[in-house]
Chains A and B, each alone.
Chain A
Amino acid sequence: MIKKDPKGDTDSLLEDVRNDYRAFPEMGIKRCLQCGLCTSNCPAARHSDYDPREMVKMVRDNNPEIMNNPDIWNCFYCYTCGSNCPANNSPCIVNQILRQKILLKGENNARIYEFLAYGYSYLDFGVGSIPSDFFDGLVADFGQKYVELKINLEDIRHDLGLEDYNLKGEALEEVKSILSSSGFTSRLEEFKRCHES
C-alpha cells in the first residue's frame, strides 16, 4: 500500500487509515460524532447489516475485528455518507482503505472477483468502463435511453467534436505496458486464479 508515512503500518488501525494516501488531510474521522447520519443514508445499510457508523467507531477504537466483518463488503462506493457527514469524515473512503488492507493480507480475494471486469476494461479499452454483466440491470433502471446512449456513444462524441471514448492503437498499447510493468495486470490474473481455484 502506498503510505504517506514511509514507516509503514503502525500498530494503530486509526493511524493507518488516517495515513493512507486515500484519506484526505482534513478527513474528520477523529471528530466523528457517531450521529449515524451516514448509516441513515446508506443504501447498503438499508439492504444489509452494513453499518458505516459502527465501522468508523471500530476503526477509531482500533478494533481489528472490523477486518473480519463480512458486511463491509456491501458498500458499493456511492459516497453519499461522505457528502453529508457533519464531521467531514468519509466512511466510504475508510471502507476502501480497510478493504485494501484486507486484500493486501491475501484475504477475501474472492470478494473482488465481480469487480475484475473493471480492471480488464483498462486492458481492453484503456479506460474504466461498466462491465457488460451490469448492462441488463442498467437498462432496467434507465430504460431504452441507456441502450441508445450505449450504442451511439462514439457517434455522439464525434458530433460533439470529442475523440473516441475508448483508446486505440498506440495509446492503448502504452496503457497496457504501464499496467503490465506496474504489476496491475498480474494482480488481475492473480485474483482471477484465486477465484477459479
Chain B
Amino acid sequence: MSTTKSKLEKNHPLTKEEDTKNPEKVGVFLCRCGGNISHTVDMAKLKDSIQADFVGEFENLCSLNCRRHIREEIIDKELDRVVIAACSPITHLKTFQNYADLLNPYMVEMVNIREQCSWVHSDSAKATKKAIELTQSGVEKVKKAQALDKIIRQTEKSAAVFGGGISGITAALSLANQGVKTCIIEKNPTIGGNMVKIGKVFSPEKLAEECSLCILNPIINEVINHKNIRILTKTNLLRAGRRSTHFKIILEKQTGFVHEDLCISCGRCVEVCPVDVPDEWNQKMTTRKAIYKPFAQAVPDVYNIDLENCIRCGKCEKVCTVGAIDFNLKSEIIPLEAGNVVIATGHESFDLNKRPEYGYQRFDDVISQMDLARILGVNGPTQGELLKISDGKRPERVVMVQCTGSRDEKDDGKRYCSKVCCMVALKHASIIRERFPETEVVICYTDMRTVGMYENYLRYVQDKDIKLIRGRPGEVTKKDDKLVVRVEDTLERKPLEIETDMVVLSEAIEPSPGTMRIAQKFNVGLSQDLFIKEKHSKIKPVNTDMERVFVCGTAQGPKDITDSVSQANAAAAKVSEQIKSGTEAEPPVAVIKTSQCNLCGKCMDICGFKAVYRDEENMAIDPMACRGCGACAGQCPQEAIEIKGINDLELYAQIRGLLSDKKEGEIRILAFLDNVGYTAADAIGNNRLCYPEAIRIIKIPSINRIMPHHLMYAFLHGADGVLMAEYPDECMLEAHKAKIKELSESVKNQGIPSDRLRFYKAYAPHYRGLAQQFTRFFEDITREI
C-alpha cells in the first residue's frame, strides 16, 4: 500500500502532526478486575509502558474504596483528565464519571481492556501489547477532550390538545390537574366526540351496557370548570411553528354569529329559523335548523349558526332577547404558545358507499352501526325505539355484517382489523335482545375478536340468544319487500340467502383527513395506514417522531374507549414528565454555528430523528431529539455543524493511538461501532469468544459521524482495514445508504481496495456474527498480504 500512502499524504490536509503540546495532566487508573484482566494482561508491563502523569494499578477499580483513591490522586497529582482502563463504558462510564466527579464528566475516558482484550485474546504477550496500545490511545484521546455540560431544556408548562373527544378530554383533564395550562382545540361546535353520540358503552366487567353521556358528563363538567383548561370549539389549526421550548400555534375560530358569552341557550332562535338541515348528530336521519345546538348537553352550551346553510333572514336575531346573535361577527385568529402538543383528533367512519354491493345508499333499512346507535339512543330519531327507517315498523330480524371495509385488501378497503366492531355489534345485539326480544339478531362474522376479558361479554350476549354465522356476506339485495343477505355459512359449507328487515353494516374505523392535516403541520409521521405513528410501539408509545408531540385515542389507530382513555392518560403523563423533569440531553449532540449557516436545509432533510428545524430565521437543532449521529454535519456544505462530545481531534488522536507501534507485517483493523455494535462486541467478551488482536474498536454515535477524511487518516496511519458496524435504525436508513456510498466512493478514489472498507449491520444478540465478521476480515487481509 506504499503508493497509496504517498497519494494519501498528498491529498490529506491533516498529514502533519497536530499540535501535541498539552499542558494538562492525565492520570491512568488500571483495573485488575479481580484477575479478569490481570490473568491475561501483564499488569506490571502495562503500568510501565503507559506514558502519563500518573499511572496506578488497582484490584477492583469499581469498588467504593477506589472512589477515594481516584479522588485522592486527582487532588494529589493535580490531574485534569483521567483514563480508566478497565471494562465497558456501556456499563461503567457513569460510575467512573461519578468517582471522578471533581472533573467534568467528559474529562473521563474509559478503555475497555477486559471485553476487548483479556476476555477475547488468550495469548498473554499479544493481549498485553494490545492493552498498552488501547490505553495509550485513550490517553491521547482524552487530551483532546472538551469539557461539556449536559443540556437542560425546560419545556414550557403548557399543552395544546387537539380534539375534544374522550381522549382529548381525558388527556386535558389529567394535565390540568397536574397544574399544566391546557387548551382543548375542537373543530366541532361541541366537545364530547363520538362517545356522546353512541348512547351506550359496553362494560365487560359489569356485563351490562352503560349510558355514555352519564359517564362522560361529570368529566365534561370538570373540564368546563377547570381553571387550567381553556376550550376552543369550532377551531382549526392554521399554522404550527417549532421553537426550542414550545410550539407557536396559530388557530382560527370560526364564527357562529353568536356571542358565546351572551347566549343563554333559551332556544327561541330555533323556533323561528326557517331552514331545515340534515342533522349530523342523528346521522342525518332527522333534521335540525340552521341555528342549532348539536344536542341538549352540548358544551359550550350555546347555539351556533351553520354559515353554510343560513339564509341570513335575521329572524333569530329579532327574537333573541339577550342580543347574542350578531351577523357581523368574524372568524377570529388566535395565537397560542404551548410547550407540548397532544394529538387526539380521533377517527372517521368508513364510507359505506364504497361497498355498493351492500346497498347502504339504495336501501333505507341498510344502516351502519353508528346509525343503529342513534336509533337505539333515547335522545335519537326514534327516542330509542328499534324501528325501520323505511316504514317505522319494528324489524323481525336484524342481520349485522362484520368487517365492512376492515380486513379488506381491496384498494379502497382497510387492511387492518378495526378492533371495536365485534364488541359494538355485540353491544347492539344485547340491547336489541333485551329491549325488543321479539326481534332476532344474526351476526355474520369473519372472526369474533373479543380478546381478553371481552370474551365474558360475548358469552353474556350469546346467552341472550343471538345467531352467529361464520361467513362474510357478499351482497345485500331485495326480494319483494324483504332484504336478502347472501352469505356462506362456512362452517356448514352452505350458501345462504337470509331474508331480513334490517341490515347493519359494521363500518371500519379510518384515519380522518383532519388528523392527517395536523400531522402535516406539525411534521409528525404517519403509519402505513395513515394513522399517527408512534415513535416506537413498545418502548416509546404515545410519543410521535416529533419531540414534545404526543398522540392518543383513535388518531393513533383503531381502539375502544377503554384503550383510548388509558392512552390519553399515558400521553398526559409523558407531557408531565417532559415539563417536570426539564429534559436532559447528553452529548454527543449536533450544534449549528448560525453565522456559518446558509439556510440550505440539507441538514433538515437528512435527519431521520427530526431534530433539525427552521426557527423564525435560523436553522436550529433540538438537542432532545438529536442523537449526535453526525449525518447533518456530513451534509453541510458550509461546515457549519459541529458534533459536541466527539470532536475531530479526539477521533484523530484515538485512531492514531490504536494504530501506533505497528510492527512490520502486523495487521490492524479499526472497527467503528455504534452503541448496538459496541454492546455486541461486549457480549463477545462476556461469552469469551475469540477474535484477532488486530481488531481495534472505536465507539461512535453512528457511522454518519465518520467523514471521508477520518477514513483517509486511518488508512494513512496504517489501518489495513476499516469495519463499520451499526444497527440499521429504520428512520436513518436513507442517511446510512448515503453515507455508505460516500465513504465507499472516497476509498475508491484514493485507490484503496474496496474490500478494505466493510459495513456490517449490528444486532445486539447476534454477537457471534460480529465476532465472525472480525475474524473473516482479518483472514481475508492476511491472505492478501
Interaction A to B: yes
Whether a CB of chain B sits under 8 angstroms from the CB of A33 is yes
For B490, the chain A residues whose CB sits under 8 A away are 34-36, 39, 53
A40 to chain B, nearest CB (A): 4
Q: Which of A36, A46, A85 has the most CB of B within 10 A?
A: A36
A54 to B489, CA, bound (A): 12
Whether a CB of chain A sits under 8 angstroms from the CB of B533 is no
Q: Is the CB of A37 within 8 A of B474?
A: yes
Query: Which one, B213-221, B343-351, B404-412, is touching chain A?
Result: B404-412
Q: Is the CB of A86 within 8 A of B408?
A: yes
A34 to B446, CA, bound (A): 8
A36 to B496, CA, bound (A): 11
Q: Is the CB of B409 within 8 A of A51?
A: no
Q: Is the CB of A28 within 8 A of B409?
A: yes
Whether a CB of chain B sits under 8 angstroms from the CB of A45 is yes
With beta carbons under 8 angstroms apart, the residue of A42, A46, A88 that contacts B409 is: A88
B412 to chain A, nearest CB (A): 12
Q: Which of A31, A37, A53, A84 has the most CB of B within 10 A?
A: A37
A42 to B495, CA, bound (A): 9
For A51, the chain B residues whose CB sits under 8 A away are 488, 493, 495
With contact pairs A38-B474, A40-B472, A40-B474 given, residues A88 and B410 touching in the complex (Cβ less than 8 Å): yes
B183 to chain A, nearest CB (A): 42
Q: Is the CB of A86 within 8 A of B403?
A: yes
Within 8 A of B (CB), among A22-58: 28, 31, 33-42, 45-46, 51, 53-54
Whether a CB of chain A sits under 8 angstroms from the CB of B413 is yes
Whether a CB of chain A sits under 8 angstroms from the CB of B486 is yes
Closest to B491 in A: A36
Q: Is the CB of B471 within 8 A of A87?
A: no
Q: Is the CB of A40 within 8 A of B488?
A: yes
For B357, the chain A residues whose CB sits under 8 A away are 41, 84
Within 8 A of B (CB), among A65-87: 80, 84-87
Q: Is the CB of A87 within 8 A of B495?
A: no
For A46, the chain B residues whose CB sits under 8 A away are 495
Q: Is the CB of A45 within 8 A of B493?
A: no
With contact pairs A45-B495, A46-B495, A84-B357 given, residues A39 and B488 touching in the complex (Cβ less than 8 Å): yes
A53 to B409, CA, bound (A): 17
With beta carbons under 8 angstroms apart, the residue of A28, A31, A36 that contacts B471 is: A36
Q: Is the CB of A36 within 8 A of B409?
A: no
Closest to B357 in A: A84
Q: Give 1 or 0 for each of B622-658: 1 = CB within 8 Å of chain A CB.
A: 0000000000000000000000000000000000000
Closest to B447 in A: A33
Whether a CB of chain A sits under 8 angstroms from the CB of B473 is yes
Whether a CB of chain A sits under 8 angstroms from the CB of B475 is yes
Closest to B407 in A: A86
Q: Is the CB of B472 within 8 A of A37?
A: yes
Q: Is the CB of A33 within 8 A of B446?
A: yes
Whether a CB of chain A sits under 8 angstroms from the CB of B487 is yes
Q: Is the CB of A35 within 8 A of B409?
A: no
For B410, the chain A residues whose CB sits under 8 A away are 84-86, 88
A118 to B473, CA, bound (A): 34
B528 to chain A, nearest CB (A): 16
For A39, the chain B residues whose CB sits under 8 A away are 471, 474, 488, 490, 495
A42 to B471, CA, bound (A): 14
For B403, the chain A residues whose CB sits under 8 A away are 35, 86
With contact pairs A45-B495, A53-B488 given, residues A37 and B409 touching in the complex (Cβ less than 8 Å): no
Query: Size of chain B's interface in residues, with CB distance under 8 A?
Result: 23
B353 to chain A, nearest CB (A): 16
Q: Is the CB of B472 within 8 A of A35?
A: yes
For B475, the chain A residues whose CB sits under 8 A away are 40-41
With beta carbons under 8 angstroms apart, the residue of B409, B486, B493 that contacts A86 is: B409
Q: Is the CB of A40 within 8 A of B473?
A: yes
A37 to B403, CA, bound (A): 11
A28 to B413, CA, bound (A): 15
A39 to B446, CA, bound (A): 14
Q: Is the CB of A40 within 8 A of B471?
A: yes
For A36, the chain B residues whose CB sits under 8 A away are 470-472, 487-490
For A80, the chain B residues whose CB sits under 8 A away are 474
A41 to B447, CA, bound (A): 19
Q: Which of A38, A39, A41 has the most CB of B within 10 A?
A: A39
Q: Give 1 or 0 for each of A88-128: 1 = CB within 8 Å of chain B CB.
A: 10000000000000000000000000000000000000000
Closest to A84 in B: B474
For B489, the chain A residues whose CB sits under 8 A away are 36
Q: Give 1 or 0 for each of A121-147: 1 = CB within 8 Å of chain B CB.
A: 000000000000000000000000000
For A34, the chain B residues whose CB sits under 8 A away are 490
Q: Is the CB of A86 within 8 A of B413?
A: yes
B616 to chain A, nearest CB (A): 48
Closest to A35 in B: B472
A91 to B413, CA, bound (A): 19
B350 to chain A, nearest CB (A): 13
Q: Give 1 or 0 for each of B459-481: 1 = CB within 8 Å of chain A CB.
A: 00000000000111111000000
A33 to B407, CA, bound (A): 9
Q: Is the CB of B474 within 8 A of A54?
A: no
For A86, the chain B residues whose CB sits under 8 A away are 403, 407-410, 413, 446, 472
Q: Is the CB of A41 within 8 A of B409?
A: no
Q: Is the CB of A35 within 8 A of B493?
A: no
For B493, the chain A residues whose CB sits under 8 A away are 51, 54
Closest to A87 in B: B409
A95 to chain B, nearest CB (A): 16
A27 to chain B, nearest CB (A): 11
User: Lowest 8 A-B CB distances belong to which pairs?
Assistant: A36-B488, A41-B474, A35-B472, A40-B474, A39-B488, A36-B471, A36-B490, A88-B409
19 contacts between A and B (CB under 8 A): A33-B407, A34-B490, A36-B470, A36-B472, A36-B487, A36-B489, A37-B471, A37-B473, A37-B488, A40-B472, A41-B357, A41-B474, A45-B495, A46-B495, A84-B357, A85-B410, A86-B408, A87-B409, A88-B410
Binding site for B on A (CB under 8 A): 28, 31, 33-42, 45-46, 51, 53-54, 80, 84-88
Given contacts A33-B407, A35-B446, A40-B472, 19 further A-B pairs with CB under 8 A are A33-B472, A34-B490, A35-B403, A36-B470, A36-B489, A38-B474, A39-B471, A39-B488, A40-B475, A40-B487, A40-B488, A40-B495, A41-B474, A80-B474, A86-B403, A86-B409, A86-B410, A86-B413, A87-B409
